[in-house]
Amino acid sequence: MKKSNLLRAGAVLVSLSFVAVACGGSDDSASDTTVAAEAPASTCEAPVASIALQFPETGDAANLGAPMLKGSQLAVDEFNAANPDACVTLKTFDTQGDPAKAPAVAQSVIDDATILGLVGPGFSGESLAALPLYDEAGLATITGSATNATIQDQGFKVFHRILANDAAQGPAVAKYIVGALAPKSIGIVDDASDYGKGLADAVKKEAGATVKATDSIDPKAADFSAAVSKMKDANPDVIFFGGYYGEAVKLSTQLRDAGVKATLVFGDGVKDQAGYADAAGPAAEGALIACPCKDGSPDFIAAWEKAYKEVPGTYGAEYYDAANVLLNVIKGGAKDRAAVQAAVNKYDAAGITKQIKFAANGEATEASTIYMYKVESGKITYVADIK
């Protein structure tokens, strides 16, 4: 009795493992393709130094992290190809964009003595959590994406930002909404994150009396019906959402399902082709997305397409620039963290997105333009500059 039971169970198990093997097989082939899609591995045999990248490689907003890695990697690979005798390695550190994970990650960056500078952190929340540690260690950081407008006022000496912050983005978005769309009323929703709420508040302040309804959503929830009911009741011409693409997909879909016809406007956290436009499909059509990010120069786009077989992702160009600042500084003879920090502060050269020069608070002096994009026939396409 027991024995036959054991046999039968064995048979079940064998068939189970076949299923598992089949899954495992497809898994393997999938990881092969991702390897192929990645940048050509830099052949750096005797690195003189390394730079770190702190960003969300996995987690809820991993789609936004991928171009950060690809942009930085492209810069490092080009640099190493041009300077084979003084090459630099890129070390990546994954925080999942989570402020709670950032301090521990920052500590491991600091503990690695070969790291002379950091590209990132990727998000605003993790920046606020990690920057006190980097500041104490004197490790220069250059972010190409963390746009919260309070970071530059905290007195971090090592903080540098290569693009416009939310204080520029919020008013620019509001200006565009009021000017180009001329709505009678506006609805504003945020995801209660440092980034989303900060941006939504900036838009709210600038748009003033035309704001008719506001709400916050819980990004972990699947159901936004209360916020949707509120927007449906207020029936605004334009709805702005401050948050990331994952929630933007859910919110757009649920708003359209409820018959809300308002023009949807988002910030840079939603500018993700696969994460937003492809995932939301018809619900995303016609949505406007503001971003301080640029597509980059034609040479850069060609190099990216050659390396990754896709068009450059959001912030790819900014991270390419940020990595290049550190690489040029290291090439210029900075051999320790203090020298890199001093040289970054004095840096003044053309990048692919703008002339790169940092003010005393770490902001790039030429970063003020916001670019507006629109989802047209399922593709996020450039519409206009907002100055």
Partner 1 sequence: MSNWLIYRTFWDLTVSGIVLGLIYALVALGYTMVYGVLRLINFAHSEIFMVGTFGVLISLTKVFGISLFEDGQYPYRSGLMLVAILVASTVAAMVVSGAGAVVLERTAYRPLRGAGDAYGAVVLAFLTGLIASFLFTDSMMVDLAIAAVITGPLSVVYVRIFRKGRQAPRLAFLISAIGSSMALAEAVATWGPDERVIYKTPRVLEKKVLFNFLGADVRIDYVIVALGAILMMTSLLLFVNRTRLGRGIRAVAQDAETARILGVNVNSVILVTFLLGGAMAGGAAMMFTLVYDQTRFNIGFLLGVKSFTAAVLGGIGNIKGALLGGIVLGLAENYGSAIFGGQWKDVIAFIVLLTVLMFRPTGILGESLGKARV
Give the residue with the Cβ less far from partner 1, 3 or 387: 3
SS (H, E, C) 97-151: CCCCCHHHHHHHHHHCCCEEEEECCCCHHHHHHHHHHHHHHCCEEEECCCCCCCH
* Least distance between partner 1 and beta carbon 14 (Å): 8
* Least distance between partner 1 and beta carbon 178 (Å): 23
Contact 118, 52 (CB under 8 A): yes
Binding-site ranges for partner 1 (CB under 8 A): 2, 5-6, 9-10, 12-14, 16-17, 20-21, 23-28, 30-31, 33-34, 58-60, 62, 192, 213, 215-218, 220-230, 232-233, 246, 249-250, 253, 257-259, 279, 281-282, 285, 377-378
Give the residue with the Cβ less far from partner 1, 142 or 207: 207
* Cα(100)–Cα(98) distance, integer angstroms: 5
Contact 109, 279 (CB under 8 A): no
Q: Nearest-CA neighbor of 51 among 108, 95, 115?
A: 115
Strand partners, 161: 143, 363
Give the residue with the Cβ less far from partner 1, 59 or 171: 59
Give the residue with the Cβ less far from partner 1, 239 or 343: 239
* Least distance between partner 1 and beta carbon 365 (Å): 37
* Cα(304)–Cα(287) distance, integer angstroms: 26
- Say if strands 288-291 and 348-350 run parallel, antiparallel, or are unpaired: unpaired
* Least distance between partner 1 and beta carbon 157 (Å): 35
Give the residue with the Cβ less far from partner 1, 306 or 379: 379
Give the residue with the Cβ less far from partner 1, 279 or 303: 279
* Cα(353)–Cα(191) distance, integer angstroms: 29
* Least distance between partner 1 and beta carbon 205 (Å): 18
Contact 75, 320 (CB under 8 A): yes
* Least distance between partner 1 and beta carbon 279 (Å): 5
